[in-house]
């Protein structure tokens, strides 16, 4: 084959080459792309290597004519062609963006927003230092670097800059060959992927196939293939798949994702019938209720095809081929041009034949399609005949080039095929300008068809060929070429018209969407408007108009007007007079259309502004077109006009009443006409003479229209005014919304602003009297304007319903206010382009000024308030803002705000056109505030000085000096004076403002304007004004009144003695100016302004810097102030002044010490008093004098310190039940922490109880009433909000009195250790522990009366077990007990048990205890990912074996009896239900309550066992859980302080202090329980003092999930010995607890598996109980008399602490690894000191290391080990110091309150430890201990790795990159781990901030189902990584996600901010963002304080939108 192929290529016999290739492919493809039988969707089985070898290598051989070739890339061609692929210069970059990759746009140089660069180019370009934006790409575009048309400057990066030398010629023969082979490949691929017949291969291949195997006939296999559509949801597809394919939900999810990503997936392999049935099943499901659609107005069946497997294989091959070709273009760059040419070239006859044949078959196939197509075609051809004579070619769809096939068959392909072809287009034709031109011409030629197919299709624009239009329409020269040569404007708008025609209503000829609001098809059609905006985006210069461009532009505009006709007058409203509108009328669609057309209209106006002829032609056209919309009247008698009179003046006006006639808010043609007046120079002729034919025509038109010219705009404005006056109330929200949008920043530029412009035009061309009367008439104010008006309406009834006079006067006054507002706007709004003589920047600046007049604002807020229109988008808003405002940043973490500069205050106009009513009042308030200390003239807020009008508009101010308006003003003043009911403050203010404006006019033009003169003559305005001065009536604006009277008088006086020269000079200027001069002057002015602006800028910058300094200085001051304050507080606190704390006097000398022999003592002088927040009563905290008090508290599980295994997973999955060990102390993994926090708000326990019950009742009531309402607080879980501060709480923590004031004595009072040295103490304790336990004691105390058989056996058993443990097979011995074949006689035992049972209570106890032994514990092994109660995908509790099962009974009895004997000696324990000593009796209940709550947050597990223990050994359980929890709390607070750089003491806030104090006292009071269980104390001591259990892999591995331990309860269920091992485990636990005698030297636990801090606290809390009458008894029970003792810092406690510290040092020695991180965090500051570790210490450490690990070589860096020791000491001692401070109340040394002191010494001394580590670890005792403990270290490296490395560090948040773009680019390469498809990356890549892993959030691909509950990727990861809470960063939309339970979560902005200090939640603005370290630090603190849940709940109270998310799916 290869030889044939190469020789064909050599012979240039292309037909033969094709033949050989086809044959080869026919043979190999079905094999290489074979379908997986079981899971046809799974194509991971494709063998890439074979595909390369068998398919691509031969192809390359043909390209190179080299049969020896073994390369699968075209690299070889470079050599043949002599090209260098690495040279990029001279080319366009053309990098095709991946989905999510960042694109960069330069705000200064890009031609428009679509011009982008890739990161690589951007970094190498000049734009790096410009202002730029960045956006994540949607995966459908390429880098424009190198494209001269795209950039005004810096068109290319340094890599892609053009250089001339490059024009290499490729050898002719190579070119031809490449081209021919490419042709063959492309035709093959495109034929295949556009193949319509699902059962056969394309004709040309089929014919080759027939030739190949004429005789072989295998039964073809078929496939059901599911295609993607955008109408069906994931859920519905998954459901259908589960139902008919019978796959699992996981598989269905995978298929659904594949279909969504790739566009299709095979779902079933089988015979044709089977596959067809599956297809029918799928499609029948279409109307079923299970199928939910994304868009309601389409109901299509699922797209399914039944396909020949061979075809499918070839299609897959085609996809790989195209992909390969795309890649080869980078390997062999010349290929781009060749492929491009191949696509654009005319197909030759044979090729055409193939393609056309193809078309014919496609027509014959799908019959439905033909019908539809025929209809459409006939319709269209008619349509086309009418408008376009040129293209009447009947065979329109006939493809002449491959490109046409691609364009026209786009929608017939599936997603991946499309995107591959689009990528190919981007890499080829778009890289070459000539090819691009050809492409775009073809595109425009088929524009209508392409859009037709797009609209019928349902895929998004990104994956449609229409999305490519942006690539050529945005090229300015090309766009104009297309308009001029191909009439693109007409083509596009005609396409839009043809697709929107169906929405036109017959009679009105307007769009009507009453039936269906914004249909999907319309939505799709309107994408065409995007193309229009692109096409027109580059406005030609005035000399850039060619005749063709002009003709075709005007032609296109005619069509455009045709479109606007359907909008003009749409959705007309008529006032609902009688009743309310029954249903809200549809209004949104019209606005949606407008929004999409808005930019086009603005652009059209900009185009016309550059050419007067075009402008005028279009103006005339528009005016003519208005004929189609005759102006209506509302006279019932048919009269169109009436005469309106006011006082002495009158005018003839059109008779119309807005209240009675219909008005439409949509006037696009009118507004287009208005827009044409924004180039007033072109219409100047309207006011003068003209001979120009066109101009004459226009003038006649305008004349003819007369006042109707602006009538429609006026009506809309009146409608809005009447709506303000509540006259349109009954029309409902539809109208309210329309009006709202009419004024909104989004729409106003093409609506409201244009209407105002239109009125201004009207005012400029109409005589003032007529104009004013027109306005008055429309506002229905003609009578009001008469002096005699008293409320009587003669002009017909206002309303059908009666209106009382008050209503009427209110309405009239409001209308009058609106009328004056309009006058103010007509005269005052001169900043729109063309209206006033001012640069375009000043309009924007004024807009900003007015936004800032309402208060300081952030940049994004200002941006939000600006109009969204094309012209203002082209001006830099930032520049405008900087010109008028100062930037200030109040805090490092808050967003910066802009403050208006004082010198801009005079621009303030309270009646600014874009102010809403609320803006206006806000602005007035703010101005009053900030001006309060300023000069009177500034406080008055006089009307601002305005620029002059342009010549066309210069007559506008004349309306101000018209006697009519002056009379009206006088009238208003008079009515105000009289307090007439037709007056209002607002009306008076506006009238005064208008007078002010008129005076301003007179000031600039005193001679001619003469307002004061006319006012004097008309009505004596000034007298009226003066009459009001100082009166109550004018108080609303008395300052303004004073100022105006002043100015009035000044001007009047000025006029009396005029200095003529000065003024004439002023007025002459504008009059005599020609257009040219005006231009020059404007330019000069602009330059001047710019200069000013620049100097302003520099000024501002220096100012700004100064301000920053200022702010910083202030900040420093405040921080130092707060420091001082805290110092004061501290002094108060420790100086025992009036503070909310017990007042204490400390007794001691020298250095403060809180523990040990030299400890200080504290006395309570007066106890603490608290106020109950519920009943407000004060209560002392005293054991007898006060009622018990509690604090609101929040308990949660915390994995903050939980260790992670090597995979970064939390080590929680080791055992799912509470291991017996945990009852003694916490495991080193710290699998669960129970965190307690409080808001410090105290209440009576009684009050709390009452409140809690009330809450619960209310909640259950509410739950019944509003079913399913989502809420954040869950009362069922015991949650409530603190009544005072609303903090989330779920428990109450008792506030106990200090032990010092209780009758409880301290341990030191019974201890005899006071005179012992540490070494002696340890030796003695060790000796005692090693001593055999004297069983006699037990026997003596127990019922020695008769030692039963079973009792004996129990002891034997125990001995046996002991032995077994030593030999590490602990289960064997106990089997004897549990096997039924035991020698003991069951019956006898039962008898005995019955006899021995004394009462029911104890009976129950033993029953349950026995049951526990038989408990099989299968849950323990169910492998579940999460075992925190909050996150819990734990398998539900499996039914456990029933203890009452008959055959188990004897056994149970046996055990029962055994236990009876065992526990008999501890009656105190069994019967004691006292948690604490008698002294604290009244606190009992609250402590119990809290204890129960805390237990809840421990892991759920072996329930019967925990239940048993909780029930009968409650005190013991609560004590241990509290101690462990106290350890956690103290550790967390100490860590928080450390990472926040605060000292251990002195910076504690009230919450911390109260929490620690309460926990410390709880710990101490719960010590009481251990007096009955002294064996537990001994056992804990054993861990420290005795030989550890032999470290074999099995014993160590009890914390290792991989290898189940033999003795631990988490053995695999499958082993038959399960129940017995369980028994063993339980038994071991009890033996441990009760220390049932026997010579037992060894500790039960490995010292390396224990958390030393928890152990130390537990021991310190209980050690004192071992002293009896001056003797320490560690092996016997001692006397049972209840005592009252508590820890008080006794010597025992101090020695326990010191021993624990040594044990912790040992842990560090044992786990220290040279290579695991030199990141010693605690002590990094004194690096220099330690690195020069003195020789002695070095030696000491080396020696100890040898004792620990004798068989290992010593580490090289002892200093690092030393650092670890220091860190460990801090970690252990800081929490203990906190707890002991609050226990003993001994004030810590000052050094611990000072953050600058870094040494450990004060801490050591405070805790009575040797002050240097060296001293602590030297001596023979330490050596002995170390070598004893060293047995705990496992030898094998595997087990070694499983040991928790000490010291423990919290799981902190990861560090983030400084630049946000870095983060985005980092994740753009991220691929979904479940379906790693090359081209499409995950949509929501999300980073876990705890470990930094990137996840695929909120997507089906990575969702997991555990226990029928779905888990989004983040939620699942959370359970593995951070426990019950998580913090994630969604990278693409710059959002933080905080999550807790499934129901709770919230979004917060990510800690990245732009240059204005603002975050960009959603990443919409696209400004470059930087990490705000302050914000991130806050987040880190939140994490460390475990405040996520609280934050989420708080935030949900603020923003309830967070409720709507399914947080389980994240
Ligand atoms: Zn690039
Ligand atoms: Zn570049
Ligand atoms: Zn730039
Ligand atoms: Zn109370
Ligand atoms: Zn509170
Ligand atoms: Zn993580
Ligand atoms: Zn995924």
- Comparing CA positions, the residue from 1090, 1127, 1162, 915 lying closest to residue 1780 is 1162
Cβ pair 1652, 1708 in contact under 8 A: no
Distance 254 CA to ligand 7 centre (A): 10
- What is the DSSP-derived secondary structure letter of residue 262? H
Residue 892 C-alpha to ligand 4 middle, in angstroms? 42
Query: Rounded to the nearest whole angstrom, what is the distance from the C-alpha of residue 103 to the centroid of ligand 1?
Result: 9
d(CA 1285, ligand 4 centre) in Å: 16
Contacts (Cβ under 8 Å, ≥6 apart) of 2002? 1945, 1946, 1947, 1992, 1995, 1996
Q: How far is the CA of 1940 from the centre of ligand 7 (A)?
A: 22
Q: How confident is the model at residue 1527, as a pLDDT?
A: 92
Q: Helix or strand or coil: residue 1995?
A: helix
The pLDDT score that the predictor gives to residue 1234 is 86
* Helix-helix angle 588-608:732-743, to 10 degrees: 20
Ligand in closest contact with the CA of 1173? 4
What is the reported pLDDT for 751?
A: 93
Distance 910 CA to ligand 3 centre (A): 39
In degrees rounded to 5, what are phi and psi of residue 562?
Answer: -55, -40
Q: Are 1842 and 1599 in contact (CB under 8 A)?
A: yes
Q: What are the beta bridge partners of residue 857?
A: 898
- Contact by Cβ (8 Å): 1499, 1419: no
Q: How far away, in angstroms, is 121 Cα from ligand 1 center?
A: 4
Give, as residue ranges, everything with CB less than 5 Å from ion ligand 2. 93, 121, 145, 157, 159-160
For residues 298 and 141, which has the higher predicted lDDT (pLDDT)?
Answer: 141
Q: Tell me the average pLDDT across 1842-1853.
A: 85
Distance 1189 CA to ligand 4 centre (A): 8
- Assigned token pair, 1760: 């690092």
In this prediction, residue 1732 carries a pLDDT of 63
Element at 1668 (helix H, strand E): strand 1667-1668
Residue 442, pLDDT score: 93
* Residue 402 CA: distances (Å) to CA of 17, 322, 324, 342, 415: 20, 14, 19, 8, 19
Residue 1779 CA to ligand 4 centre (angstroms): 28
Nearest alpha carbon to residue 343 among 423, 263, 457, 413: 423
Tokens of 1183: 């054991």
Greatest mean pLDDT among 762-776, 1003-1017, 1487-1501, 1706-1720: 762-776
User: Using an 8 Å Cβ cutoff, are 1578 and 1329 in contact?
Assistant: yes
Pairing of strands 1685-1686, 1305-1306: parallel
pLDDT tens for each residue of 628-665: 888 888 876 767 888 888 888 888 888 888 888 889 99
CA torsion sign for 1601, 1607, 1610, 1612 is positive
Place of tokens 């127990």: 1342
Q: What is the pLDDT of residue 1962?
A: 84
The alpha carbon of 120 and the centre of ligand 2 are apart by a number of angstroms equal to 7
DSSP secondary structure string for all residues of 451-519 = HHHHHHS-S-GGGSGGGGGHHHHTSHHHHHHHHHHH-HHHHHHHHHHHHHGGGB-TTT-SB--SSSSS-
Tokens 């000052």 belong to residue = 1790
* Distance between CA atoms of residues 1469 and 1467, nearest Å: 5
Residues with CB under 5 Å of ion ligand 6 are 1888, 1890-1891, 1921
Ligand nearest to the CA of 1888: 6
Strand residue runs (E) in 1889-1955: 1894-1896, 1904-1906, 1909-1911, 1926-1930, 1935-1939, 1945-1949, 1952-1953
Cβ 141 vs Cβ 102: under 8 Å: no
State the average pLDDT for the chain.
78
The whole-number pLDDT of residue 1349 equals 46
Dist CA 1232 CA 1497 (whole Å): 9
The residues facing 1162 across adjacent strands are: 1146
Contact 1553, 1606 (CB under 8 A): no
β-bridge mates for residue 651, sequence order:
644
1005 pLDDT band, cuts 50/70/90, is confident
- Per-residue b/e over 1238-1258, b at no fewer than 16 CB within 10 Å? bbbbbbbbbbbbebeeebeee
Strand partners, 1192: 1292
At residue 401, the 3 state secondary structure works out as: strand
Query: Residue 1246: nearest ligand to its CA?
Result: 4
- Whether residue 1064 has pLDDT greater than 50: no
Report percent pLDDT > 90 for the chain: 22
Provide DSSP, 1692-1728.
Answer: HHHHHHHHHHHHHHHHHHHH--TTS-----TTGGGHH
Distance 537 CA to ligand 5 centre (A): 59
The residue written with tokens 């019978």 in the block is 246
1270: Cβ contacts below 8 Å, ≥ 6 apart: 1943, 2003
d(CA 827, CA 822): 9
Please state which of the ranges 885-894, 1125-1134, 1577-1586 shows the lowest mean pLDDT: 1125-1134
Query: How many angstroms does the Cα of residue 1049 sit away from the middle of ligand 7?
Result: 78
Our CA angle for 286, 287, 292, nearest 5°, is 80
Residue-wise pLDDT tens digits, 1577-1617: 887 888 888 877 765 443 333 333 333 333 333 333 333 33
For 882, phi then psi, to 5°, come to -60, -30
Please tell me the distance between residue 640's alpha carbon and the centre of ligand 6 in angstroms.
77
Average pLDDT over residues 150-175: 78
DSSP secondary structure, 1546-1597, as one string: S---HHHHHHHHHHHHHHHHHGGGGGG-HHHHHHHHHHHHSPPPP--HHHHG
**pLDDT tens by residue, 1214-1264:** 443 445 445 667 777 787 788 999 998 999 999 999 988 888 887 777 766
Ligand nearest to the CA of 1247: 4
How far apart CA 902 and CA 884 sit, in angstroms, is 9
Give the span between the Cα atoms of 432 and 1587, in whole angstroms.
81
Half-sphere exposure of 667 (CA within 13 A, CB side): 29
Predicted pLDDT at 1971? 92
Can you tell me the mean pLDDT for 1891-1909? 83
885-888/1291-1295 β-pairing: unpaired
pLDDT of residue 753: 94
Burial class (CB in 10 A: 0-12, 13-18, 19+), 609: buried
**Cα-to-centroid distance, 1950 and ligand 1 (Å):** 28
In this prediction, residue 760 has a pLDDT band, given cuts at 50, 70 and 90, of very high
* pTM of the complete model: 0.78
Average pLDDT over residues 1803-1813: 90
Separation of 2009 CA from ligand 7 center, angstroms?
A: 12
- pLDDT of 820 reads 95
Tokens of 878: 């930032």
Reported as a single tens digit per residue, the pLDDT across 399-424 is 578 888 888 888 888 888 988 899 89
Helix axes 309-331, 14-32, angle to 10 degrees: 120
Q: How far is the CA of 1241 from the centre of ligand 5 (A)?
A: 5
Grouping H, G, I as helix, E, B as strand and the rest as coil, residue 949 is strand
Q: Which of 61-75, 395-409, 1427-1441 has the lowest mean pLDDT?
A: 1427-1441
Question: Does residue 1379 carry a pLDDT above 70?
Answer: no
The contacts of residue 1347 (CB under 8 Å, 6+ apart) are 1339
The whole-number pLDDT of residue 779 equals 92
> What is the band of 48 on the pLDDT scale with cuts at 50, 70, 90?
confident
Quick check: 915 pLDDT over 60? yes
| Residue 1916 backbone phi and psi in degrees, to 5 | -65, -45
Predicted confidence at residue 280, as pLDDT, reads 84
Please list all protein residues whose beta carbon sits less than 5 angstroms from ligand 4, which is an ion: 1172, 1174-1175, 1244, 1247
Whether the predicted pLDDT of 581 surpasses 90: no
Quick check: 1193 and 1187 in contact, CB under 8 A? no
C-alpha 961 – ligand 6 centre gap (Å): 74
Per residue in 81-113, pLDDT (tens digit) is 777 766 655 677 888 888 778 899 998 888 888
Distance CA(512)–CA(585), nearest Å, equals 11
Judged by its nearest atom, the ligand closest to the C-alpha of residue 1210 is: 6
Q: Residue 994 and residue 1002: Cα distance in Å, rounded?
A: 12
**How much distance in Å is there from the Cα of 109 to the middle of ligand 3?**
4
Do 1586 and 1326 meet the contact criterion of CB atoms below 8 Å apart? yes
CA distance 748 to 503: 25
CA of 155 to the centre of ligand 3 (A): 9
Instruction: Evaluate if residue 1412 carries a pLDDT over 80.
Output: no
pLDDT at 855: 92
Confidence of residue 1312 (pLDDT cuts 50, 70, 90): confident
User: Whose atoms come closest to the Cα of 156: which ligand?
Assistant: 2
Residue owning tokens 């922490």: 1233
Q: Which helix (H) or strand (E) holds 1253?
A: helix 1245-1265
Q: How many angstroms does the Cα of residue 1995 sit away from the middle of ligand 6?
A: 23
Whether the predicted pLDDT of 340 surpasses 70 = yes
Angstrom distance (rounded) from CA 158 to CA 1857: 26
Rounded to whole angstroms, how far apart are CA atoms 1570 and 659?
A: 88
- Whether the CB-CB separation of 1708 and 1768 falls below 8 Å is answered with yes
**Distance between Cα 476 and ligand 3 center (Å):** 18
Query: Which ligand number lies closest to the CA of residue 101?
Result: 1
Please tell me the distance between residue 465's alpha carbon and the centre of ligand 2 in angstroms: 25
CA 1731 – ligand 1 centroid, Å: 49
């Amino acid at each position: 084959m290869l030889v044939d192929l190469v020789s064909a290529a050599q012979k240039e016999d292309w037909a033969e080459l094709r033949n050989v290739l086809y044959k080869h492919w026919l043979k190999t493809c079905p094999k290489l792309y074979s379908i997986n039988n079981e899971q046809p969707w799974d194509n991971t089985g494709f063998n890439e290597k074979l595909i390369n070898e068998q398919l691509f290598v031969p192809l390359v051989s043909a390209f190179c004519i080299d049969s020896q070739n073994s390369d699968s890339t075209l690299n070889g061609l470079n050599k043949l062609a002599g090209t260098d692929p690495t040279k990029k210069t001279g080319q366009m970059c053309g990098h095709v963006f991946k989905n999510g990759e960042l694109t960069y746009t330069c705000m200064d140089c890009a031609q428009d927003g679509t011009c982008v660069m890739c990161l690589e180019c951007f970094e190498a370009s000049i734009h790096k230092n410009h202002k730029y934006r960045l956006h994540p790409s949607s995966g459908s575009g390429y880098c424009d670097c190198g494209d001269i048309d795209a950039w005004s400057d810096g068109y290319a990066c340094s890599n892609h800059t053009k250089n001339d030398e490059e024009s290499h010629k490729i050898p002719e023969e190579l070119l031809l060959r490449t081209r021919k082979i490419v042709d063959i490949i492309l035709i093959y691929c495109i034929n295949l992927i556009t193949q319509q017949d699902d059962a056969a291969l394309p004709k040309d291949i089929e014919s080759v196939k027939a030739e190949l195997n004429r005789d072989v006939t295998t039964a073809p296999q078929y496939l059901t293939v599911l295609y993607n559509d955008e109408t069906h949801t994931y859920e519905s597809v998954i459901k259908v798949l589960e139902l008919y394919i019978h796959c699992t939900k996981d598989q269905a999810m995978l298929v659904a994702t594949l279909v969504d990503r790739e566009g299709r997936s095979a779902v079933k392999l089988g015979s044709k019938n089977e596959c067809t049935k599956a297809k029918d099943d799928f499609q029948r499901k279409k109307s079923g209720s299970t199928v939910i659609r994304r868009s309601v107005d389409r109901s299509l069946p699922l797209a399914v095809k039944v396909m020949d497997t061979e075809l499918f294989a070839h299609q897959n091959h085609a996809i790989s081929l195209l992909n390969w070709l795309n890649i080869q273009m980078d390997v062999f760059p010349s290929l781009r041009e060749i492929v491009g040419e191949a696509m654009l070239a005319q197909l030759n006859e044979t090729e055409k034949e193939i393609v056309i044949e193809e078309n014919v078959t496609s027509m014959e196939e799908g019959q439905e399609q033909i019908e539809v197509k025929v209809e459409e075609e006939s319709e269209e051809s008619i349509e086309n005949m009418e408008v376009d004579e040129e293209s009447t070619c009947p065979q329109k769809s006939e493809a002449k080039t491959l490109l046409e096939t691609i364009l026209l068959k786009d929608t017939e392909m599936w997603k991946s095929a499309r995107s591959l072809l689009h990528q190919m287009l981007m890499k080829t034709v778009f890289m070459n300008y000539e090819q691009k031109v050809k492409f775009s011409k073809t595109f425009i030629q088929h524009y209508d068809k392409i859009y037709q197919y797009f609209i019928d299709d349902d895929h998004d624009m990104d994956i449609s060929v229409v999305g490519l239009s942006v690539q050529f329409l945005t090229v300015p020269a090309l766009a104009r070429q297309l308009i001029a040569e191909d009439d693109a404007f007409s083509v596009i708008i005609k396409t839009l018209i043809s697709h929107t025609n169906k929405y036109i209503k017959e009679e009105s000829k307007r769009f009507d969407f009453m039936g269906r609001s914004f249909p999907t098809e319309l939505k799709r059609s309107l994408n065409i408007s995007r193309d229009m905006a692109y096409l027109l985006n580059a406005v030609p210069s005035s000399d850039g108009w060619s005749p063709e461009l002009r003709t075709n532009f005007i032609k296109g505009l005619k069509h455009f007007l045709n479109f606007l006709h359907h909008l003009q007058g749409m959705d007309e409203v008529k006032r609902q007079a009688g009743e309310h509108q029954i249903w809200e009328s549809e209004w949104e669609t019209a606005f949606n259309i407008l929004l999409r057309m808005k930019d086009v209209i603005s652009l059209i106006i900009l185009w016309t502004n550059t050419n007067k002829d075009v402008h005028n032609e279009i103006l005339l056209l528009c005016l003519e077109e208005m004929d189609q919309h005759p102006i209506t009247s509302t006279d019932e008698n048919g009269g169109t006009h009436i005469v309106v009179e006011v006082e002495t003046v009158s005018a003839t006006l059109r008779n119309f009443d807005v209240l009675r006639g219909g008005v439409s808010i949509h006037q696009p043609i009118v507004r287009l006409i208005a827009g044409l007046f924004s180039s007033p120079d072109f219409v100047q002729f309207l006011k003068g003479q003209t001979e120009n034919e066109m101009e004459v025509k226009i003038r006649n038109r305008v004349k003819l229209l007369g006042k109707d010219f602006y009538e429609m705009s006026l009506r809309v404005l009146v409608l809005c005014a009447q709506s303000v006056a509540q006259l349109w109330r009954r029309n409902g929200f539809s109208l309210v919304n329309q009006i709202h949008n009419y004024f909104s920043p989004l729409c106003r530029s093409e609506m409201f602003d244009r209407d105002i412009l239109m009125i201004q035009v009207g005012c400029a061309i109409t005589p003032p009297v007529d104009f004013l009367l027109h306005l008055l008439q429309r506002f229905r104010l003609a009578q009001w304007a008469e002096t005699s008006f008293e409320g009587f309406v003669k002009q017909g009834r206002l309303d059908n319903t009666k209106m009382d006079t008050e209503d009427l006067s209110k309405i009239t006054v409001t209308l009058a206010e609106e009328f004056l507002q309009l006058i103010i706007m007509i005269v005052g709004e001169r900043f729109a382009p063309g209206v006033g003589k001012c640069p375009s920047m000043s309009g924007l600046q004024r807009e900003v000024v007015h936004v800032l007049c309402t208060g300081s604002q952030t940049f994004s807020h200002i941006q939000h308030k600006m109009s969204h229109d094309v012209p203002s988008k082209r001006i830099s808003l930032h520049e405008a803002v900087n010109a008028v405002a100062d930037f200030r940043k109040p805090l490092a973490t808050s967003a910066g705000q802009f403050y208006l500069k004082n010198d801009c205050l005079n621009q303030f106009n309270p009646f600014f056109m874009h102010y809403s009513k609320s803006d206006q009042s806000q602005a007035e308030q703010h101005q009053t505030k900030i001006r309060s200390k300023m000069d009177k003239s500034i406080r008055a807020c006089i009307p601002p000085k305005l620029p002059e009008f342009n010549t066309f508009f210069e007559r506008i101010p004349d309306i101000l000096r018209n006697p009519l308006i002056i009379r009206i003003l006088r009238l208003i003043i008079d009515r105000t004076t009289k307090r007439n009911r037709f007056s209002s403050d607002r009306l008076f203010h506006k009238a005064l403002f208008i007078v002010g404006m008129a005076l301003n006019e007179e000031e600039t033009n005193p001679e001619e304007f003469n307002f004061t003169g006319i006012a004097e003559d008309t009505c004596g305005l000034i007298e009226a004004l003066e009459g009001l001065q100082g009166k109550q009536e004018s108080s609303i604006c008395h300052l303004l009144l004073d100022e105006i009277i002043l100015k009035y008088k000044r001007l009047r006086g000025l006029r009396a003695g005029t200095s003529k020269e000065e003024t004439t000079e002023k007025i002459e200027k504008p009059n005599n100016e020609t257009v040219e001069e005006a231009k020059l002057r404007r330019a000069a002015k602009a330059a001047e302004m710019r200069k000013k602006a620049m100097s302003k800028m520099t000024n501002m910058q220096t100012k700004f810097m100064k301000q920053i300094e200022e702010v910083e200085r202030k900040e420093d001051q405040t921080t130092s102030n707060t420091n001082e304050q805290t110092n004061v507080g501290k002094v108060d606190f420790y100086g025992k002044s009036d503070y909310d704390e017990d007042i204490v006097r400390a007794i001691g000398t020298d250095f403060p010490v809180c523990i040990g022999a030299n400890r200080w003592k504290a006395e309570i002088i007066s106890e603490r008093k608290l106020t109950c927040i519920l009943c407000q009563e004060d209560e002392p905290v005293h054991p007898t004098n006060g009622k018990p008090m509690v604090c609101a508290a929040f308990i949660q599980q915390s994995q903050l310190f939980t260790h992670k295994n090597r995979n970064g997973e939390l080590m929680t999955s080791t055992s799912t039940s509470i291991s017996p060990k945990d009852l003694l102390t916490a495991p080193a993994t710290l699998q669960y922490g129970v965190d307690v926090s409080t808001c410090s708000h105290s209440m009576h326990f009684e009050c709390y109880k009452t409140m809690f019950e009330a809450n619960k009742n209310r909640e259950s009531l509410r739950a019944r009433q509003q079913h399913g309402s989502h809420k954040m607080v869950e009362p069922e879980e015991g949650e409530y909000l603190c009544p005072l501060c609303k903090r989330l709480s779920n428990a109450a923590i008792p506030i106990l009195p200090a032990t010092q004031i209780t009758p409880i004595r301290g341990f030191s009072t019974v201890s005899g250790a006071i005179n012992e040295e540490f070494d002696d103490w340890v030796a003695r304790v060790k000796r005692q522990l090693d001593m055999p336990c004297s069983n006699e004691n037990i026997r003596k105390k127990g019922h020695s009366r008769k030692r039963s058989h079973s009792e004996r056996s129990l002891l034997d058993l125990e001995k046996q077990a002991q032995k077994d443990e030593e030999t590490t097979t602990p289960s064997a011995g106990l089997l004897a007990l549990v096997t039924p074949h035991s020698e003991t006689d069951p019956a006898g035992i039962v008898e005995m048990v019955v006899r021995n049972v004394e009462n029911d209570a104890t009976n129950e106890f033993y029953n349950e205890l026995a049951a526990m032994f038989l408990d099989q514990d299968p849950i323990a092994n169910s492998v579940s990912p999460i075992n925190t109660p909050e996150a819990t995908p734990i398998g539900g509790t499996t039914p456990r074996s029933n203890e009452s099962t008959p055959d188990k009974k004897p056994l149970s009895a046996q055990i029962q009896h055994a236990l009876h004997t065992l526990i008999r000696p501890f009656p105190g324990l069994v019967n004691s239900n006292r948690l604490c000593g008698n002294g604290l009796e009244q606190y009992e209940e609250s402590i119990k309550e809290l204890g129960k709550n805390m237990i809840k947050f421990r892991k759920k597990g072996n329930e019967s066992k925990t239940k048993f223990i909780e029930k009968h050994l409650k005190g013991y359980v609560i004590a241990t859980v509290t101690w462990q929890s106290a350890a956690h709390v103290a550790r967390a607070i100490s860590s928080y302080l450390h990472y926040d750089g605060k000292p251990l003491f002195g910076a504690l806030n009230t919450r911390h202090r109260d929490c620690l104090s309460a926990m410390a006292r709880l710990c101490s009071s719960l010590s009481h329980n251990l007096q009955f269980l002294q064996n537990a104390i001994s056992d804990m001591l054993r861990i420290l003092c005795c030989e550890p259990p032999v470290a074999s892999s099995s014993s160590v591995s009890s914390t290792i999930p991989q290898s189940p331990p033999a003795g631990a309860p988490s053995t695999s269920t499958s082993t038959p010995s399960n129940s017995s091992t369980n028994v063993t485990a339980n038994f071991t636990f009890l033996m441990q607890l009760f220390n049932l005698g026997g010579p037992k030297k060894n500790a039960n636990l490995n010292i390396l598996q224990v958390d030393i801090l928890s152990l130390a606290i537990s021991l310190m809390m209980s050690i004192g109980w071992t002293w009896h009458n001056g003797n320490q008894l560690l092996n016997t029970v001692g006397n049972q008399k209840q005592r009252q003792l508590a820890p008080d810092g006794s010597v025992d406690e101090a020695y326990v602490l010191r021993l624990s510290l040594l044990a912790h040092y040992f842990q560090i020695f044992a786990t220290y690894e040279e290579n695991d991180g030199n990141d010693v965090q605690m002590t990094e500051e004194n690096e220099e000191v330690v690195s020069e570790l003195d020789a002695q210490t070095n030696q000491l450490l080396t020696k100890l290391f040898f004792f620990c690990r004798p068989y290992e070589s010593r580490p090289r860096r002892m200093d690092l080990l030393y650092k670890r020791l220091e860190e460990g000491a801090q970690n252990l001692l800081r929490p203990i110091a906190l707890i002991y401070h609050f226990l003993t109340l001994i004030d810590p040394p000052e050094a611990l309150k000072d953050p600058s002191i870094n040494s450990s010494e004060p801490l050591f001394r405070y805790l009575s430890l040797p002050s240097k580590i060296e001293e602590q670890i030297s001596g023979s005792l330490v050596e002995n201990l170390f070598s004893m403990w060293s047995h705990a270290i496992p030898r094998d490296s595997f087990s070694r790795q499983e040991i928790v490395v000490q010291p423990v560090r919290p799981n902190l948040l990861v560090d983030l990159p400084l630049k946000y773009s870095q983060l985005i680019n980092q994740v753009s390469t991220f691929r979904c781990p479940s379906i790693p498809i090359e081209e499409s990356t995950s949509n929501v890549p999300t980073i876990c901030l705890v470990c930094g892993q990137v996840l695929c959030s909120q997507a089906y691909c990575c969702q997991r189902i555990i226990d029928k509950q779905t888990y989004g990727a983040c939620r699942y990861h959370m359970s593995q990584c951070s426990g019950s809470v998580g913090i994630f960063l969604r990278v693409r939309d710059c959002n933080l996600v905080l999550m807790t339970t499934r129901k709770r979560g919230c979004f917060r902005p990510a800690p990245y901010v732009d240059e204005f200090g603002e975050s960009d939640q959603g990443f919409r603005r696209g400004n470059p963002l930087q990490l705000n370290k302050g914000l991130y630090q806050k987040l880190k603190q939140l994490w460390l304080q475990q405040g996520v849940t609280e934050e989420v709940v708080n935030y949900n109270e603020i923003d309830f939108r967070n409720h709507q998310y399914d947080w389980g799916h994240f």
